[in-house]
Structure 1
């Protein structure tokens, strides 16, 4: 329950900050001039990347048991799943919003068939494959019992392939990649993810030592 209130408060705070800061910073945002869908797609793509990164990093933290006793694992799992689904929804919106845009001329095949895009087909395909892989990994939560824990773990490892594909897509084809904030975003998130992966591979959860049993009454009494 507390986590829900934290998320709600954070969303309201972000909304309030956006309303207060939109006017002062509006002059730094280029006018849409008929390219609103293009700007919306770029924004959705960056936010989708952020959500999927948070989900992947949270999954590493949860599986490493590093924060056991500090963060409730059930809440962390719920947050991990919610972030993944939010990232998928935004990733889907990142693609779909371009279809009605008369400037880019993307069709369904360009966006959802790997290597079929007329614009940089290989780099665009990385985004498509990342979306599909993240979807498979995310929805595998509900099929874990059917496919078995071992297969589920292998499916889950595909999220790293999906992240690399998403990062490649963003760096190679993203219009904002050359800007300092986005460049720092990619460097910081990938570095932190490597750190979380190192923790996951090397951290060994300390075993709890059993409490010492008190000596029996017969052993405690002096002989004679």
Structure 2
């Protein structure tokens, strides 16, 4: 068998691919609401959604390849239950939790949005950030390639970019709320007393 086409390499590849795709999805979601990118909103949302599902499918392949690995004999319960792994309980456990959180976000967005309503859906959708953080920690702690320079650069660039974009979005949202509140106060001052 070709040395590149081993289960071990597919485990590594699917894990890194899932990380990359889900990071792209998170970034797409963050920037899709920016007013300066209003004309590209449809494209950004499509990228956000497609990379999210492709990343989730990569996780499924990652789990399937781990289960089929002959070198480390994982049981289904070790793969699907948080902290059930005997060798790396914490690192594996946070990866499993990330998997379920990503599933919850994707499923609720594509199949439950109308039932949940926008307010509840938003609260569920925000759990993508803890999922992404747990996935990042999982990769750093247990990933075989985490000691490779290019993988370290991938994690460092991803973390920096997500933090930068998220900070910019939070500051923009805060400024919008402040401006809206200021406009309401100004309007109230200009309305004659008899109309108030």
Fold shared by both chains (TM-score > 0.5): yes
Distance 1:64 1:166 in 2: 26
Superposition misfits of 4+ residues, deviation over 4 angstroms: 204-207
Aligned to 2:140: 171
Q: After superposition, what is the alpha-carbon deviation per residue over 1:60-110, rounded to whole angstroms, capped at 9, x for unaligned? A: 0012334113x1x22221221111000000011111112222111112111
- SS of the equivalent of 1:60 reads helix
Aligned to 2:149: 180
Distance 2:169 2:106 in 1: 20
Instruction: Give structure 1 stretches of 5+ with no counterpart.
Output: 1-30, 208-224
- Using the TM superposition, name which of 127-136 and 94-103 deviates more: 94-103
Aligned to 1:146: 115
Instruction: Give structure 2 stretches of 5+ with no counterpart.
Output: 181-196
Distance 1:121 1:105 in 2: 15
Aligned to 2:186: none
Aligned to 1:58: 28
Distance 2:28 2:97 in 1: 22
1:94 aligns with 2:62: yes
Distance 2:21 2:80 in 1: 21
Q: TM-score, normalised by structure 1?
A: 0.73
- Which residue, 54, 76, 79 being the options, matches 1:108? 76
The structure with the largest helix share of the pair is 2
Distance 1:197 1:134 in 2: 18
* Cα root mean square deviation, aligned: 1.9
Aligned residues: 174
